[in-house]
Structure 1
């Protein structure tokens, strides 16, 4: 059994530096998180779109399904977030990954409950503030990521180096544009202690999204995602009829309320649950172009480890020459 030990794996108590992103609808169930955690990584339940009773059921299923660490992702801006926090405190998940809000709102209570607290950041300044608040670790999301990329659209490679340099004392998880073991090796070389994989785990048997959504991810190339919704909360999604309409409105400087109406007409739920991949928000990262098969999540983790080891063998060793 292979172990890759890093500050992040030691913090979380996992065997491999492979974190499955909490993805609304795709991991708003126990199947994908359990498969990843059982394989040595960290599986993450996406609490964002879930009703309280559904979330309680999934948390109980996940806790009963493994003795290994797992996590919950909570966007703090979601409706009813205070009630969700109360539910999570009662269930005591091993790991919390919070985003879209300040850590002081939740940190002390979860720490008292014994939960490891990770916070999502999109820049060195926010990373420093989260570190000063006392978070246990950071998830650094770069521009290549699906869903909500950072407003400044700084790439993962640059952003990870900036954050690692700004807060060297805090374990960092890199996210955005990472789909394989070579990407994991690159992020560890930059100073991260793990990589978060989102789009790669969309294309798995266990991801609870519509088959047409998975097919759209497989069909996409690295140039086929679009960032739309500028001024409204940017998302990265695979190009379709919806993104084309949004791009036209943005290019012609349509009024904000006009763009907002069009932006809100489409939803991730339409695409993810109902398969409306022409009209819905098919959120995915640029790494969709690196995904070529729908696989069991355990096989994805196994492949990442194999590719990581292969990547290491390709790195040249420095030659030392004696001076004459």
Structure 2
């Protein structure tokens, strides 16, 4: 039985693969969509020609709905126009209010998701016309928009924006988390860290190994990886860069150890210490010194699987839990 979110975007399973910058690809997004979830492309930094190419490559791999995420720290008018020209059915916005971009997306026929870190942010987004809200809790990996934990945030957002469907994000890495989110009133979940251990995720092998061995206490919330995206709090695995900065007394930018030092090379150029950069499969160098984005649910991630298998496992486990608790799973 479909629910409000799955009906809205035309999918079968209420699982969205988080649009993790530098960690998405057409193959990855298509694998999730073909499994019945919603695959996403993170294209908020990509040059226009790459935006179009990534979308077309995804369409060649799936006939199912998928989405594109755009980060509002940067101008997105041109990228959004390309998405709409290419018929992308779902657009998600992150880090700020979308304003006229949301109306433009609707005029182009897309459904709009908007990430919020508080009930007030969610209210504004819903009033602006968001079709669904992603309630991102503080446990989330990567860049984190608020400071409220998922357990407290989700029901507050659900109450604030009803009947607009809400997706829970942050700390959800298995079917237990999905079931819990839906018990809180969410219509589905936005999953990041768990999908980093998928075969299709285009991240560096060393980064994936760190994910697989990490504990829930191994993440750090702060702003240390700020080169290229300043004043943007985030959560990542603790590593040598963070430890050296702490040992130096946590100095501000401009006085940090090894600042400006090239620690790795990506297909797009040099990567320096403290850079907001996701270690990709083509990177070379000191991967352990880079930003190893991860949520607190990382301790639940212990093996590598195809993305489709992750979708099926999570949904099957959540269905079984909800049925055992006497709830009729709405998916």
TM-score (norm 2): 0.87
1:127 corresponds, among 122, 143, 148, to 122
Q: Is 1:15 the equivalent of 2:12?
A: yes
Please state how far the C-alpha of 1:247 moved relative to its aligned partner. 3.6
Distance 1:254 1:267 in 2: 16
Could you say which residue in structure 1 is the equivalent of 2:47?
A: 51
Distance 1:184 1:213 in 2: 25
Distance 1:228 1:143 in 2: 11
More helix per residue: 1
State whether residues 246 and 262 of structure 1, in contact with CA within 8 Å, keep that contact through their aligned partners in structure 2. no
Secondary structure of the corresponding residue to residue 45 of structure 1: strand
Could you say which residue in structure 1 is the equivalent of 2:263?
A: none
Please state how far the C-alpha of 1:63 moved relative to its aligned partner. 1.7
Could you say which residue in structure 2 is the equivalent of 1:266?
A: 274
Distance 1:316 1:112 in 2: 41
RMSD over aligned CA atoms reads 2.2
Distance 2:72 2:257 in 1: 22
State whether residues 44 and 79 of structure 2, in contact with CA within 8 Å, keep that contact through their aligned partners in structure 1. no
State whether residues 103 and 135 of structure 1, in contact with CA within 8 Å, keep that contact through their aligned partners in structure 2. no
Secondary structure of the corresponding residue to residue 104 of structure 2: helix
- Stretches of structure 1 that go unaligned for 5 or more consecutive residues are 318-324
What pairs up with 1:69-88 in 2 under 5 angstroms?
Answer: 69-78=65-74, 80-88=75-83
Please state how far the C-alpha of 1:162 moved relative to its aligned partner. 0.9
Secondary structure of the corresponding residue to residue 255 of structure 2: helix
Distance 2:41 2:191 in 1: 14
What pairs up with 1:147-186 in 2 under 5 angstroms?
Answer: 147-151=142-146, 153-186=147-180
TM-score (norm 1): 0.89
Could you say which residue in structure 1 is the equivalent of 2:211?
A: 217
Distance 1:169 1:261 in 2: 50
Distance 2:13 2:77 in 1: 32
Q: Is 1:189 the equivalent of 2:201?
A: no
State whether residues 268 and 282 of structure 1, in contact with CA within 8 Å, keep that contact through their aligned partners in structure 2. no
Distance 1:172 1:22 in 2: 16
Distance 2:125 2:85 in 1: 24
Please state how far the C-alpha of 1:61 moved relative to its aligned partner. 1.2
Q: Is 1:283 the equivalent of 2:293?
A: yes
Please state how far the C-alpha of 1:260 moved relative to its aligned partner. 11
Secondary structure of the corresponding residue to residue 36 of structure 1: helix
Secondary structure of the corresponding residue to residue 40 of structure 2: strand
Secondary structure of the corresponding residue to residue 174 of structure 1: strand
Distance 2:300 2:54 in 1: 30
Please state how far the C-alpha of 1:150 moved relative to its aligned partner. 3.2
Distance 2:129 2:45 in 1: 27
Deviations 1:213-232 (A, max 9, x none): 11111011111111121783
Across the two proteins, how many residue pairs are aligned to each other? 309
Q: 1:169 to 1:310 in 2, by over 3 A?
A: closer
Please state how far the C-alpha of 1:149 moved relative to its aligned partner. 1.9
Please state how far the C-alpha of 1:283 moved relative to its aligned partner. 0.5
Secondary structure of the corresponding residue to residue 154 of structure 1: coil
State whether residues 21 and 278 of structure 2, in contact with CA within 8 Å, keep that contact through their aligned partners in structure 1. no
Secondary structure of the corresponding residue to residue 278 of structure 1: helix
Q: Please, which moves more after superposition, 306-315 or 168-177?
A: 306-315
